[in-house]
Structure 1
Amino acid sequence: MNKLIAFSTIALTLTVTTACTNKSVIRYGDATAVETTDINFASTDLQKVASQMTDSLLVSPVVGTLTANTRPVIFVEGIKNKTSEHIDTESITDSISTKLLRSGKFRFVDMGRVTAAREQIQFQQTGGMVDTNKAVQFGQQIGAQYMLYGNLASIVKSNKDQSDVYYKFTMRLMDLQSGLVEWADETEIRKTKQKEFVSW
């Protein structure tokens, strides 16, 4: 009888344990919702700096004169990450260049794809596989007139009860012919995390 009770107890325990097993559920979220998972640089911060820098550049009086009669050609140099975090700064420049291109005021050359473009043009010029009348010729590409570049820096402070991180994102637009910086701006983000004591 005791064996029967023990066996029934084990079976019941296994049934309850199986029934209470955690299950992962996947849901779509709002990509623009504020992310507060941790104090590090996050998607909300990326969206904020990209949006503010783009808006600032587009309303700049200098840019108004640059784009009055033509759509200047820009190339984006990679953002320098001067923080202690691993941050995908290419995503920041991608967002900024996409927004600027959508504005219809600028055109871009993609310096990151120059090697691939050269290989394709070389393929079209040699080997007889492409109709020579339709092949792209060397020396026909348009060079950039301006360079867009910037830095992302941070200052991190913490003690046993609180952590504070300050980010500063700076961008500049340089005229490649004159070397003059035609536009510059910066945006700041401060994030804090502190322990909250809950009374029971």
Structure 2
Amino acid sequence: MKKFFILPAVAISLLAISGCTNKSVVRYGDAAAVETTDINFGSTDLQKVAAEMTDSLLISPVVGTLTVNTRPVIFVESIKNKTSEHIDTESITDSISTKLLRSGKFRFVDMGRVASVREQLQYQQSGGMVDTSKAKQFGQQIGAQYMLYGNLASIVKSNQDQSDVYYKFTLRLMDLESGLVEWADETEIRKTKGKEYISW
């Protein structure tokens, strides 16, 4: 009789143990919260760089003389990644462009979509497929007055106890006609990771 009582007890124990296993849980977090997962370039760094560069440009003398009716046209060149990390620098320029566009001070041309625009214009001008009175014409686009460009560089040092990374982000605004750099600024980030020794 004892054997019959032991088997159900074992089965119940196994079920209880399997019910206590760890499960992956996904939660929404605050996108603006400080990220400290590691010392690599992360979301907090991207937000800091975009906010500081945008604020600096918007209070610069070159922008102070602009009005809504004279919003200059800018194109953004890809940020050069001079770090040892794989960093999506397009996300940085996207954030900066979006903030500047929302300010109402600038307009942008998207040089990354030139090939797609050319293909669409050729399609509209090919004849037969699009009403010629509604087809968009070549030679009507507005050229950019300024180019926004920059670099992201880093210096990384480490030893047995500590790792240190220093980032420097530089951004410049060039007048395409004169070749003059009308505005430039940079922001710096330093992050460290070390061992904490706990005394007992």
Give the superposition deviation at 1:144: 0.5
Give TM-score, length-normalised by structure 1.
0.93
* Structure 2 residue identity aligned to 1:115: A
CA distance in 1, matches of 2:195, 2:4: 51
Structure 2: any 5+ residue segments left out of the alignment?
A: none
Residue 87 of structure 1: aligned partner: 87
Residue 139 of structure 2 is matched in structure 1 by 139
Is the deviation greater in 10-19 or in 101-110?
10-19
Give distance in 1, aligned partners of 2:150 and 2:20.
Answer: 51
Per-residue deviation, residues 105-133 of structure 1 (Å, max 9, x unmatched): 00000000000011111111113111111
5+ residue gaps, structure 1, are: none
Question: What secondary structure sits across from 2:156 in the alignment?
Answer: strand
Q: Deviation of residue 7 (structure 1)? A: 4.0
Q: CA deviation at 1:77?
A: 0.1
**Partner amino acid for 1:75?**
F
Alignment of 1:113-128 (within 5 A): 113-128=113-128
- Does 2:129 align with 1:103? no
Shift of 1:16: 2.6
1:10 Cα offset (Å)? 4.3
* Pairwise CA RMSD: 1.7
In the superposition, the TM-score normalised over structure 2's length comes to 0.93
- Cα distance in 1 for residues equivalent to 2:3 and 2:192: 58
Secondary structure in 1 aligned to 2:51? Answer: helix
What SS does structure 2 have at the residue aligned with 1:117? helix
Q: CA deviation at 1:62?
A: 2.2
Q: What residue is the counterpart of 2:129 in the other structure?
A: 129
Equivalent residue, structure 2, for 1:28: 28
Structure 1 counterpart SS, 2:70? coil
> Counterpart in 2 of 1:53?
53
SS of the equivalent of 1:174 reads: strand
Aligned to 1:174: 174
One-letter identity of the residue aligned with 2:74: I
Query: Partners in 2 of 1:39 and 1:2 — Cα distance?
Result: 60
